[in-house]
Amino acid sequence: MAHSAAPTTVAPVITPISPKAIAPWAAFFGILMLVLLYFVGAEQGATAVISGEAVHEWVHDGRHLLGFPCH
Ligand SMILES: [Zn+2]
């Protein structure tokens, strides 16, 4: 009777990501979220960057969901 070797498992090597490596991406996505929050919350009327109601209509449900004053 042949003696079979036990299956071997190799533990994956997980390299931690340093905060220095994450910092630029965190800043980028933070700014992106602020821009998105601006367009959802304040893009209308006198402060509108893009004229017309298109942006306001696109984010209208999100605006109500987040509790921004609307109409
Ligand atoms: Zn509304």
Read off the pLDDT of residues 2-52 as tens digits, 9 standing for 90 and up: 667 778 889 999 999 999 999 999 999 999 999 988 888 887 767 777 777
Answering whether pTM is above 0.85, one says no
CB 46, CB 53: distance < 8 Å: no
Indicate whether 12 belongs to any domain: no
| Residue written as token pair 């987040």 | 66
Cα–ligand 1 centroid distance for 35 (angstroms): 20
Give residue-wise pLDDT tens across range 49-71.
777 778 888 888 888 998 888 87
Indicate whether 8 belongs to any domain: no
Indicate whether 39 belongs to any domain: yes
Indicate whether 37 belongs to any domain: yes
> Structurally, how many domains does the chain consist of?
1
Cα–ligand 1 centroid distance for 32 (angstroms): 23
For residue 24, the model assigns a pLDDT of: 96
Cα–ligand 1 centroid distance for 57 (angstroms): 9
Indicate whether 46 belongs to any domain: yes
- What one-character DSSP code corresponds to residue 2? -
Indicate whether 50 belongs to any domain: yes
Q: Print the domain residue range for 35.
A: 20-66
Q: Measured between alpha carbons, how far is 30 from 37 in angstroms, rounded to an integer? A: 10
Indicate whether 49 belongs to any domain: yes
For residue 2, the model assigns a pLDDT of: 62
